């Protein structure tokens, strides 16, 4: 079972992702902040990380850089508001696998996650 | 007449005519006087000649009665020969001055005074009888109290052979002069004739002076005064501002030359005035144009600022709304999956999903618009900003079926400004292009260096193969909230904000479009001077 980590300070986003992914056979773990997410990543491996870019404690870019720096091989999908495409582009250049604009539909999350896992498995 | 002569103080003609008139009167008077004098002289000498003949005739008539000492006969002849109208008096004197015969009988035997013409005609001084005059003053003219002049004429009776050989022996042979005869002729008729002639001559002179003066006046009027008046009238018109006026040239003389130079002067004046008016007009137009430009810029700036603050607020709200909206969409989907297809619940939940997605679009537009907010400025590499935008868009669903034909100049185009704002312009262009082509087709992007008014610009071209822009929409294209997109698809802010940004950085935004073929937008931004 593929393990997926959601890092978002918004409860509703975390719940939405959990409720979308869990029925499709993914093991979903949630983290309410960047620090918490990084701690979880250190403890166990995840295939995909859904990362909110705009969080109060730690900037999504910073979290991304730390994940890149760590031994984790997880694919990072950025969740962003439309107006932050510029930062999304920067994130993609910094190694993020993909990005999803808020608000998103369950299908978008599922296809993005599936794409990432397929890519991971190909390697 | 008054028109010709006018006031002597101001009229040249009047002055000239007065001068000429005075001169002619003086000259005429001199001639008139000379002629009259000469005539009088001539008449008198004729009168003297006739008088002489008359005296000779008397001498002849009385010759015989004298020789025969027939005093009565002699006296009778003298009386008969005088006539009171013309020959007033005839006297015959002896050498001593005693009257022997006279037409007036009462004067016989009286002796003449020595100062009378009878004596002074021959003698310088009658007391010295030997002192004779060289030229005898044989006649004189006197005037009686009535003003009638009369000629007195004296003729000497010389001693002849008949006299001293006559039987009477009164006169010895050695006596040279035996006496003299004096006649007084009335010159009244001649006076009258002379007077009439004087009157006629005066009349002729007056008529001559008047005619010559009028003629001279007329000549001066037609040759000088009238052309000068025409010139003056022309000058007054010109002084009044009518530069289209010209003076008719009627002669080739100095007046004609003057009129010609005058017309040439007016022509020059008119050209100068027209030129000046043209400059004034150009200046006014330029001022009006600049004023309009400033007004537009001001309006645009106010608009941009207004929209920018509105945008900042909208952006904050939009970010917060996105999260709950994600929840609504996700849970509506989850709930829908629990109901059988085509059930009423599924339809209802679809409405919730659709409407939530509509909210999402509205927010997305708001955020696009919000990006017009001013932010940090610096040197931006246009090619870099453009390729980043294209790279980002390629991953967007909207652009999945759009081919990008990118033709960027290899040179580096550095523009002073805000990269995120430039990116927003490019995004707007791409989104509009995609919408125009209904998300299918080719977008051509090109950058090139151009020169405009001596300055270097980078021109970024965005061409699509879309529906094109209608002629009537062209003028409203950059107006805020103008959109041809369906309700909910566009805010009508994209182009107006883009235009505002481009203007703000000293650039231009132009559009060329053919309905049914496509549209090209040309963004020109001034190149940073240090990087040219």
In tens, the pLDDT along B109-163 reads 888 777 777 777 777 666 666 556 655 667 888 888 888 888 888 888 888 887 7
% of chain B surpassing 70 pLDDT: 87
Q: Give the range of the structural domain holding residue B42, as residue numbers without chain letter.
A: 10-194
Of the two residues B465 and B421, the one the predictor is more confident about is B465
Helices (H) and strands (E) in chain A, counts: 5, 5
Which of B194, B221, B238 corresponds to the end of one domain?
B194
Provide the number of CB pairs (under 8 Å) joining chain A to chain B: 72
Instruction: Determine whether the interchain pair B327/A104 forms a contact, defined as Cβ–Cβ distance below 8 Å.
Output: no
Look at residue B49 and tell me if it is in a domain.
yes
Distance of CA A90 to CAs A5, A60, A98, Å? 22, 11, 11
Distance from CA of A19 to the nearest CA of B (A): 8
B-chain CB neighbours of A21 within 8 Å are none
Instruction: Determine whether the interchain pair A104/B323 forms a contact, defined as Cβ–Cβ distance below 8 Å.
Output: no
Which of B194, B224, B239 corresponds to the end of one domain?
B194
What pLDDT, on the 0 to 100 scale, is given for residue B374? 45
Q: What is the DSSP string of B278-303?
A: HHHHHHHHHHHHHHHHHHHHHHHHHH
Nearest to A86 among B356, B368, B420 (CB): B420
B218-274 pLDDT, tens digit per residue, is 888 888 888 888 888 888 888 887 878 888 877 778 888 888 888 898 889 889 989
Look at residue B431 and tell me if it is in a domain.
yes
A-chain CB neighbours of B395 within 8 Å are 99
> Cβ of B24 under 8 Å from any chain A Cβ?
no
> Cβ of B73 under 8 Å from any chain A Cβ?
no
Q: Which of A21, A103, A104, A109 to mutate to test the interface with B (most CBs of B within 10 A)?
A: A103
Nearest to B326 among A99, A103, A107 (CB): A103
Query: What are the b/e assignments for B14-34, b being 16+ CB within 10 Å?
Result: bebbeebbeebeeebeeebee
B-chain CB neighbours of A15 within 8 Å are 327
Q: What is the DSSP string of B190-251?
A: HHHHHHHHHHHHHHHHHHHHHHHHHHHHHHHIIIIIHHHHHHHHHHHHHHTT-TT-------
A-chain CB neighbours of B331 within 8 Å are 16, 19
Look at residue B327 and tell me if it is in a domain.
no
Q: Which of B318, B323, B355, B427 to mutate to test the interface with A (most CBs of A within 10 A)?
A: B323
Assess whether the previous peptide bond of A103 is cis (omega < 30° from 0): yes
B-chain CB neighbours of A10 within 8 Å are 323
B-chain CB neighbours of A85 within 8 Å are 392
Look at residue B284 and tell me if it is in a domain.
no
As a whole number of angstroms, the distance between CA A98 and CA A108 comes to: 11
Of the two residues A15 and B377, the one the predictor is more confident about is A15
pLDDT band at A82 (very low <50, low <70, confident <90, very high): low
Q: What is the DSSP string of B157-174?
A: EE--HHHHTSTT--S-TT
A 38-77 near B (Cβ less than 8 A):
54
Look at residue B115 and tell me if it is in a domain.
yes
What residues have CB less than 8 Å from B14, skipping those under 6 apart? B5, B6, B7, B8
B148 Rama class: left (phi>0) / alpha (psi -120 to 50) / beta: beta
State ipTM.
0.85
Residue B373 pLDDT > 50: no
As a whole number of angstroms, the distance between CA B494 and CA B449 comes to: 25
A-chain CB neighbours of B315 within 8 Å are 83
Residue A26 pLDDT > 90: yes
Instruction: Determine whether the interchain pair B331/A82 forms a contact, defined as Cβ–Cβ distance below 8 Å.
Output: no
- Domains delineated in chain A: 3-122 (3.40.50.2300)
Please report, for the domain that includes residue B515, its CATH number.
3.30.565.10
B394-430 pLDDT, tens digit per residue, is 777 778 888 999 988 888 889 988 887 888 889 889 8
> Cβ of A13 under 8 Å from any chain B Cβ?
yes
Distance from CA of A85 to the nearest CA of B (A): 8
% of chain B surpassing 90 pLDDT: 14
Which of B194, B209, B232 corresponds to the end of one domain?
B194
pLDDT band at B446 (very low <50, low <70, confident <90, very high): very high
Instruction: Determine whether the interchain pair B388/A102 forms a contact, defined as Cβ–Cβ distance below 8 Å.
Output: no
Spacing of C-alpha B261 from chain mean position: 12
Give me the residue label for tokens 């004096």: B182
Query: What are the b/e assignments for B355-393, b being 16+ CB within 10 Å?
Result: ebeebbeebbbbbbbbbbbeeeeeebbbbebbebbbebb
Q: What is the DSSP string of A47-82?
A: SEEEEES--SSS-HHHHHHHHHHSS--PEEEEEEEG
Look at residue B396 and tell me if it is in a domain.
yes
Instruction: Determine whether the interchain pair A10/B353 forms a contact, defined as Cβ–Cβ distance below 8 Å.
Output: no
Instruction: Determine whether the interchain pair A81/B330 forms a contact, defined as Cβ–Cβ distance below 8 Å.
Output: no
Q: What is the DSSP string of B24-86?
A: HHHHHHHHHHHHHHHHHHHHHHHHHHHHHHHHHHHHHHHHHHHHTT-HHHHHHHHHHH-BTTT
Q: Which of A9, A86, A91, A112 to mutate to test the interface with B (most CBs of B within 10 A)?
A: A86
Residue A87 pLDDT > 80: no
**Across residues B387-398, what is the average pLDDT?**
79
Look at residue B76 and tell me if it is in a domain.
yes
Instruction: Determine whether the interchain pair B392/A16 forms a contact, defined as Cβ–Cβ distance below 8 Å.
Output: no
> Cβ of B358 under 8 Å from any chain A Cβ?
no
Of the two residues B171 and B35, the one the predictor is more confident about is B35
Look at residue B301 and tell me if it is in a domain.
no
A-chain CB neighbours of B423 within 8 Å are 86
Nearest to B327 among A16, A83, A86 (CB): A16
A-chain CB neighbours of B370 within 8 Å are 83
Residue B490 pLDDT > 80: no
Task: Name the residue in chain B with its Cα closest to that of A101.
Answer: B322
> Cβ of A3 under 8 Å from any chain B Cβ?
no
As a whole number of angstroms, the distance between CA A83 and CA B372 comes to: 11
> Cβ of B313 under 8 Å from any chain A Cβ?
no
What pLDDT, on the 0 to 100 scale, is given for residue B372? 44
Strands B177-186 and B149-158: antiparallel
Cβ proximity of B152 and B142 under 8 Å: yes
B-chain CB neighbours of A19 within 8 Å are 330-331, 334
Helix (H) / strand (E) containing B119: helix B117-120
Q: How many domains does chain B contain in total? A: 2
DSSP B106: G
As a whole number of angstroms, the distance between CA A111 and CA B3 comes to: 112
pLDDT band at A28 (very low <50, low <70, confident <90, very high): very high
Please report, for the domain that includes residue B97, its CATH number.
3.30.450.20
Q: Which of A102, A109, A115 to mutate to test the interface with B (most CBs of B within 10 A)?
A: A102
């Amino acid at each position: 079972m593929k393990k997926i980590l959601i890092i978002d300070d918004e409860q509703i986003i975390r719940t939405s992702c959990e409720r979308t992914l869990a029925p499709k056979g993914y093991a979903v773990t949630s983290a309410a902040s960047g620090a918490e997410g990084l701690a979880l990543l250190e403890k166990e491996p995840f295939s995909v990380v859904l990362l909110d870019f705009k969080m109060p404690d730690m900037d999504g870019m910073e979290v991304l850089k730390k994940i890149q720096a760590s031994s984790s091989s997880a694919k990072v999908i950025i969740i962003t508001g439309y107006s932050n495409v510029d930062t999304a582009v920067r994130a993609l250049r910094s190694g993020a696998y993909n990005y999803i604009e808020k608000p998103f539909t369950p299908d978008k999350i599922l296809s993005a996650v599936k794409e990432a896992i397929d890519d991971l498995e190909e390697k | 007449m008054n028109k010709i002569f006018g006031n002597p103080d101001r009229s040249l003609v009047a002055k000239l005519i007065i001068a000429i008139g005075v001169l002619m009167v003086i000259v005429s008077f001199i001639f008139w006087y000379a002629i009259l004098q000469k005539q009088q002289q001539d008449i008198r000498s004729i009168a003297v000649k006739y008088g002489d003949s008359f005296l000779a005739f008397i001498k002849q008539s009385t010759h015989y009665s004298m020789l025969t000492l027939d005093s009565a006969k002699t006296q009778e002849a003298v009386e008969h020969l005088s006539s009171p109208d013309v020959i007033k008096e005839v006297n015959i004197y002896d050498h001593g001055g005693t009257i022997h015969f006279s037409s007036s009988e009462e004067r016989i035997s009286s002796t003449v005074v020595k100062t009378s013409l009878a004596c002074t005609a021959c003698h310088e001084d009658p007391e010295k009888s030997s002192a004779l005059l060289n030229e005898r003053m044989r006649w004189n003219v006197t005037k009686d109290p009535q003003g009638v002049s009369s000629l007195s004429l004296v003729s000497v009776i010389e001693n002849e052979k008949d006299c001293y050989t006559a039987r009477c022996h009164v006169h010895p042979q050695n006596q040279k002069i035996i006496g003299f005869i004096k006649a007084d002729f009335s010159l009244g008729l001649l006076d009258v004739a002379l007077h009439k002639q004087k009157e006629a001559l005066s009349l002729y002179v007056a008529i001559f002076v008047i005619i010559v003066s009028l003629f001279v006046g007329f000549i001066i009027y037609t040759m000088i005064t009238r052309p000068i008046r025409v010139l003056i009238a022309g000058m007054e018109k010109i002084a009044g501002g009518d530069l289209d006026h010209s003076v008719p040239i009627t002669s080739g003389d100095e007046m004609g030359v003057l009129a010609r130079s005058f017309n040439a002067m007016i022509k020059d004046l008119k050209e100068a005035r027209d030129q000046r008016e043209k400059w004034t007009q150009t200046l006014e137009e330029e001022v009006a144009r600049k004023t309009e430009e400033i007004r537009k810029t001001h309006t645009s700036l106010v608009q941009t600022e207004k929209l920018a603050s509105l945008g900042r607020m909208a952006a904050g709200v939009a970010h917060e709304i996105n999260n709950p909206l994600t929840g609504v969409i996700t849970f509506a989907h989850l709930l829908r999956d629990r109901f059988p297809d085509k059930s009423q619940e599924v339809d209802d939940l679809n409405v919730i999903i659709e409407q939530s997605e509509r909210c999402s679009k509205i927010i997305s537009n708001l955020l696009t618009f919000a990006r017009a907010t001013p932010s940090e400025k610096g040197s931006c590499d246009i090619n870099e900003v453009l390729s980043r935008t294209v790279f980002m868009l390629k991953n967007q669903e909207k652009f999945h079926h759009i081919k990008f034909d990118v033709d960027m100049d290899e040179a580096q185009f550095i523009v002073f400004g805000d990269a995120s704002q430039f990116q927003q312009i490019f995004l707007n262009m791409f989104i509009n292009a995609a919408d125009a082509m209904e998300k299918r087709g080719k977008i051509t992007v090109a950058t090139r260096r151009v020169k405009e008014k001596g300055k270097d610009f980078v021109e970024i071209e965005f061409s699509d193969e879309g529906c094109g822009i209608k002629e009537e929409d062209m003028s409203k294209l950059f107006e805020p909230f103008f959109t041809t997109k369906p309700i909910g698809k566009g805010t009508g802010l994209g182009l107006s904000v883009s235009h505002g940004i481009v203007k703000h950085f000293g650039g231009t935004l132009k559009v060329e479009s053919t309905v049914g073929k496509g549209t090209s937008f040309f963004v020109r931004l001034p190149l940073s001077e240090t990087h040219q």
